[in-house]
Amino acid sequence: MVPFSILDLSPVIEGGTVAQSLANSRRLAQEAEAHGYERFWLAEHHGMRGIASAATSLVIQHVASGTRSIRVGSGGIMLPNHSPLVIAEQFGTLEALFPGRIDLGLGRAPGTDMATARALRRNMEAAADNFPQDVVELIGLMAPLKPDQRIVAVPGAGSEVPVWLLGSSHYSAHLAAMLGLPFAFASHFAPDMLLSALEIYRERFEPSQHLDRPHVMVGVMGAAAETDAEADHLFTSMQQSFVRLRRGTPDAFPPPLASMDGFWSEQERIMVGHTLQYAVVGGPDKVRRRIAEFLSLTKADELIVSMPIFDMDARLKSVRLFAEARQELAKAA
């Protein structure tokens, strides 16, 4: 059975604080580690009241210091917001602190609105265009030192932190294949190009010193509970968040609703249903069935699950239920 991992955005719930959110991320990672998850990734987003993981490297350190064995990394660092040298130094430091446990997933989007993006880095268009060169430069800065190398990341040089490319389109699929890097597709919120991007990546993959064959991770939103009805109820928090985001009014992560009727329009219901079409939401039987179908569809090497659930106890239980689903699927394989 393929490894399962967790993608976390350190959600700031209504009535909660950033400090609570960061403590919850560490607690969630501890639960994931205890139940055999492979990785715990955190995502860079800026200017969003419901997300506390903007300073992603710092949150990775916070989570890694509270765990022992699970890999901790970025899903991802939005490289156009940063210089490759700074990221090499940050992740070289993390690798020194937590040897063999750090992943560096890289994305090309700014992870925010355009006004905030301009505040992060003045020429975002040029930064996005330079993404391939920046990825190569970053990998080089974390490689073993070369004779007469003029620019050296300290820490960073020789750390060889594993680099993943993240994407929601064909662009990153082409680049990951060309560079021989593992590829993670953001199917948890961008389903449309999933299968064609995976096909491009696998067909065009060039073996490299990093990887000898294609390696794919796919993402889903998830909410597992004792019953389908309970899981559907928990998932209304994520549905509300997507509606608010599309309306241009993102806010703190909301509590679940008894019903989404009256909250969203018919057009918004269809939009959210399409965007989250691969979500795995339900009781144990439905969760197992949905996971099996999705892995059969994608032939993925790993599955990463984002569990946007308002109540922390319910989130922890969902982590356990997904782990149990993986065990049951492995027995049946």
27 is a domain residue: yes
Walk along the chain (333 residues) and give the pLDDT tens digit of each residue.
Answer: 899 999 999 999 999 999 999 999 999 999 999 999 999 999 998 888 999 999 999 999 999 999 999 999 999 999 988 999 999 999 999 999 999 999 999 999 765 666 766 777 656 666 668 999 999 999 999 999 998 899 999 999 999 999 999 999 999 999 999 999 999 999 999 999 999 999 999 999 999 999 999 999 999 999 999 999 999 999 999 999 999 999 989 899 999 999 999 999 999 999 999 999 999 999 999 999 999 999 999 999 999 999 999 999 999 999 999 999 999 999 998
Residues 5, 140, single domain; the answer is yes
Q: Residue 94 and residue 57: Cα distance in Å, rounded?
A: 8
182 is a domain residue: no
CB 63 within 8 A of CB 55: no
Q: Residue 76 and residue 56: Cα distance in Å, rounded?
A: 8
Residues 46, 131, single domain; the answer is yes
- Residues in Cβ contact with 195 at an 8 Å cutoff, skipping those fewer than 6 apart: 297, 298
DSSP lists the bridge partners of residue 35 as none
Residues 105, 238, single domain; the answer is no
Question: Residue 181: which of 143, 158, 209 has the closest Cα?
Answer: 209
288 is a domain residue: yes
What is the domain range of residue 142?
1-161
183 is a domain residue: no
Look up the CATH number of the domain holding residue 47. Answer: 3.20.20.30
Residues 44, 121, single domain; the answer is yes
255 is a domain residue: yes
155 is a domain residue: yes
Residues 63-67: contacts with CB under 8 Å, at least 24 apart: 63/25, 63/26, 63/29, 64/94, 64/97, 64/98, 64/101, 64/102, 65/97, 65/98, 66/26, 66/29, 66/30, 67/26, 67/29, 67/30, 67/33, 67/40
Quote the pTM value: 0.95
- Residues in Cβ contact with 101 at an 8 Å cutoff, skipping those fewer than 6 apart: 64, 69, 70, 71, 72
Residues 2, 146, single domain; the answer is yes
Packed helices 284-298 and 312-332: angle between N→C axes, nearest 10 degrees: 60
- Considering its fold, how many domains does the chain have in total? 2
What letter represents residue 250's amino acid? P
234 is a domain residue: yes
202 is a domain residue: no
> Residue 106 is encoded by which pair of tokens?
């890289």
Residues 38, 147, single domain; the answer is yes
- Residues in Cβ contact with 93 at an 8 Å cutoff, skipping those fewer than 6 apart: 155, 156
